[in-house]
Amino acid sequence: MPKIRRKTFAAREDLIERASEVAKKKGFSFYAFLNEILQLTLQAEEMGVSLRSLIEERGLLKAAKEASFVLGLENLWYEMTDIACEKAKRRTLECWVEAGAWLAKRYVSGGIKNPFLAFKRDLEAFTWNVSELDVEEGKGEVSIRIISPKFSESYTFLLEAFLESALETFGYTRFNKDVSRGTIRMKAYRGKS
Amino acid sequence: MSVGQSKSKRLIPIPEALLRGLMEASSNEGKPLNRYIEEALQQAIKVFETGQNLKGMVHYFEILQSQKASGAIFTPLTVFDFMTSKVYITDKEKLLDVWFKSGKWYGKYLTEKFEDPVQALADLLQAARWDLNEVNVKEIDGKIKLRCTSTALTKEGTELLLKFISGALDGMKCKILKSEFMKGLILVEFTLCT
């Protein structure tokens, strides 16, 4: 068996100790553990990402799961939305409105310091298919702009209802909307007038 | 000097080939090699300490990327369940056809993208459909058995998912020998066509 040539690098002792403890728990030797980590780091690098991004992406799926979202194919989803709207528009709309309120309530009741910011962050993460998404929160108002040429008409209107319902749960009561297929422009205000 | 920099250091031997790759990667990121490796080590420790698996995470990322590329979107589960059950009542055949065709396209996509598209399908289902408790693929006597179980899936949802899987296997040019379902359980037996 050919001997593997090795070189050395200097690493922080405290880090090595922590890594050794983790390796021991996992039933690896420190060197086997280190080699695996470094190989996976390079594998991730080849995919154009860092380990930090991997952790963040894993967090995205976890967040989506906790928010009760599932992944489905876009075309299939638009077709189903169209059929559902054609057959039971009112009930379909109600269902989206309920889902929007439920999602927002989850943030509002979750003991989060800034629930709207958490909602905004997740909304941005979950809508990776959208070409343009801007959510801006000002003093007593929020503006949302979504542009996606791929949206079907029904999907656009249902998504708008979903967002409006979510914003209502966050305490916004008045809305200015401009909605057409693939485009949602919405401004929401707190208070009565 | 920061606390991190004042820690004592130890020399660690690693395979030369691996080190060369790391030197290239650290240079691409414009970081000194030691810092690059230490950061990787820190991130990996964080992953393991939170009970996760780094290898699984890399695999997960690949899956997520292919999901993004295939045009997958996040949908509220309650809405998803409502739509499937509502449309199922009024347009069952149309809906089953839509799911089959969608699956077929997906099967072709996976064949182009992955060396083992059947395993990729199972992994993707497991990762993207967390309403499934288990997605299992096993080869027994030259036949491949795929099993999905779920305690959350509705009967309609189960049938539609089976249609999607059947479409995907058709898109991969697999020959389905047997398929059956009941609420929350899908069993498909098939062979790979060469």
pLDDT tens digit sequence for B90-129: 888 988 999 999 999 999 999 998 889 999 899 888 888 8
Q: What's the CA dihedral at A72, B112, A48, A15 to 10 degrees?
A: 80
- Whether A45 sits inside 8 A of B28 (CB atoms) is yes
Share of chain B above pLDDT 70, in %: 96
Q: Can you read off the two tokens belonging to residue B16? A: 């030369």
CB-defined contacts A:B, below 8 A: 236
Pick the CATH number of A70-189 from 3.40.50.720, 1.10.3720.10, 1.50.10.100, 3.90.1520.10: 3.90.1520.10
Measure the CA–CA gap between A134 and A143, rounded to whole angstroms.
Answer: 8
Measure the CA–CA gap between A40 and B59, rounded to whole angstroms.
Answer: 10
pLDDT tens for chain A, 193 residues: list them. 567 788 888 888 888 898 899 888 888 888 888 888 888 888 888 877 777 777 777 777 778 888 888 888 888 888 889 888 888 899 999 999 999 999 999 999 988 889 999 999 889 888 888 889 999 999 899 999 999 998 999 999 999 999 999 999 999 999 999 999 999 999 999 976 6
Bridge partners of A138?
A141
Domain positions in chain A:
13-63, 70-189
Residue A12 confidence (pLDDT): 87
Does residue B63 carry a pLDDT above 70?
A: yes
Pick the CATH number of B75-192 from 3.30.1380, 2.60.40, 1.10.3720, 3.40.50: 3.30.1380
H/E run at residue A105? helix A74-108
Q: How many H-runs (helices) and E-runs (strands) does chain B carry?
A: 7, 6
The size of chain A, in residues, is: 193
Domain positions in chain B:
75-192
- Pick from B10, B44, B84: CB nearest A16: B10
pTM of the model as a whole: 0.74
Window from A84-88, A114-118, B68-72, B148-152 with minimum mean pLDDT = B68-72
- Pick from B12, B61, B131: CB nearest A16: B12
Residue B58 confidence (pLDDT): 79
- Whether B13 sits inside 8 A of A13 (CB atoms) is no
Q: How confident is the model at residue B194 (pLDDT cuts 50, 70, 90)?
A: low
- Pick from B16, B34, B76: CB nearest A68: B76
Measure the CA–CA gap between B55 and B60, rounded to whole angstroms.
Answer: 9
- Whether B10 sits inside 8 A of A18 (CB atoms) is no
- Whether A68 sits inside 8 A of B77 (CB atoms) is yes
* For B94, nearest residue in chain A (alpha carbons): A83
Does residue B6 carry a pLDDT above 60?
A: no
- Pick from B18, B61, B95: CB nearest A35: B18
Sign of CA dihedral A54, A130, A78, A65: positive
pLDDT tens digit sequence for B122-134: 988 888 887 889 9
Measure the CA–CA gap between B130 and B77, rounded to whole angstroms.
Answer: 10
Q: Is A35 on the interface with B (CB under 8 A)?
A: yes
Q: Computed over its alpha carbons, how large is the radius of gyration of chain A?
A: 23
CA distance B143 to chain A (A): 28
